[in-house]
Amino acid sequence: MESTHFHHDLALLDWQIELGVTEAICDAPVNRYDVPAALEKPKAVAQAPAAVMNMAPAKVDAVAEAERAAKAAGTLDELRAAMTGYEHCDLKKGARNLVFSDGIPGARVMLVGEAPGRDEDLEGRPFVGRAGQLLDKMLGAIDLGRDRQDAPVYITNVMPWRPPQNRDPKPEEIAMMKPFLLRHIALAAPEVLVIVGNWSCQALLGKRGITRLRGTWTEAAGLPALPMFHPAYLLRSAEFKREAWADLQSLQARLRKTKGAA
């Protein structure tokens, strides 16, 4: 007589076949509680040599890269392109526009400001906000202007990108932009430089203290240079406009003298 268990197992097998089962996982039952006599040792993972693992990624010399890029630029357009392609200054990541220059290249006077503000960042030109409007009035008082064909000026900044929240530029940021600035001056070829503000003095003269430096002719980038108050400072401290007017007259006198000598 066949066992009741046999019929039960056979019925279960038929039910599984109807469900679509076509093969068994294994031929014999497996005791999941049985511990093997010896466990397989994990395979060793190949490691790179210690010297390779300890190698730090090569550090880019941002200043040297700037010097190479600036030196290769033979025109102002090429210099603008080189600055646009320069990726080592973090200020570029947060800026809307490269602020390269304004005015007429080849002008006798080149003004070097500090860094773009909000208005300059939006428009892509230096000195277009309130400080720029005051600067235009100051230049107009001595018969100069960025758009005047008879007595033009050329304007740029030490930093071509706006620092976040208009903070002061960091020394390392000035250092990596200085080669571009020096090349910019060489290609624009002005007769004199006007160094506008503390950070411009830091970049071109290696020192700050605009209240002490202003009004005294010096030399920067191989050219006669006159440090002056930044017009933004004059907007905050109107009591220094008298000194600014004296500096403008000094600039005008020098231009007249050199023009007469020519």
* Tens-digit pLDDT profile for residues 195-206: 999 999 999 999
Q: List all residues 6 or more positions away from 212 whose beta carbon is below 8 Å from its beta carbon.
A: none
The residues facing 110 across adjacent strands are 154, 193
Q: Sorting pLDDT into bands at 50, 70 and 90, what band is 42?
A: low
Between vectors from CA 119 to CA 231 and to CA 140, what angle results, nearest 5°? 40
This prediction has a pTM of 0.78
Per-residue pLDDT for 239 more than 70?
yes
Alpha helices in 102-143 (DSSP H): 118-123, 130-140
User: In the predicted model, what is the mean pLDDT of the chain?
Assistant: 89
How many C-beta atoms lie closer than 10 Å to residue 92's C-beta? 15
Cα 199 vs. chain centroid, distance in angstroms? Answer: 16
Domains and CATH numbers, the chain: 63-261 (3.40.470.10)
- By the 10 Å C-beta count (0-12 exposed, 13-18 middle, 19+ buried), 3 is classed as exposed
DSSP string, 22-48: -S-S-SS---TTPPPSSPPPPPPPP--
The pLDDT, as a whole number, for residue 9 is 66
Per-residue pLDDT for 175 more than 80?
yes
Element at 175 (helix H, strand E):
helix 171-188
Per-residue pLDDT for 3 more than 90?
no
Distance between CA atoms of residues 18 and 39, nearest Å: 40
* Average pLDDT of the residues in 224-233: 98
Cα Rg of the chain, angstroms: 36
Residue from 164, 154, 18 nearest 92 by CA: 164
Structure tokens at 208: 């700050």
Element at 195 (helix H, strand E):
strand 192-196
Cα 87 vs. chain centroid, distance in angstroms? Answer: 7
The pLDDT, as a whole number, for residue 258 is 87
- By the 10 Å C-beta count (0-12 exposed, 13-18 middle, 19+ buried), 33 is classed as exposed
Kindly report, residue by residue over 57-92, the tens digit of the pLDDT.
668 899 999 999 999 999 999 999 999 999 999 999
Q: Sorting pLDDT into bands at 50, 70 and 90, what band is 234?
A: very high
The pLDDT, as a whole number, for residue 59 is 83
The pLDDT, as a whole number, for residue 10 is 65
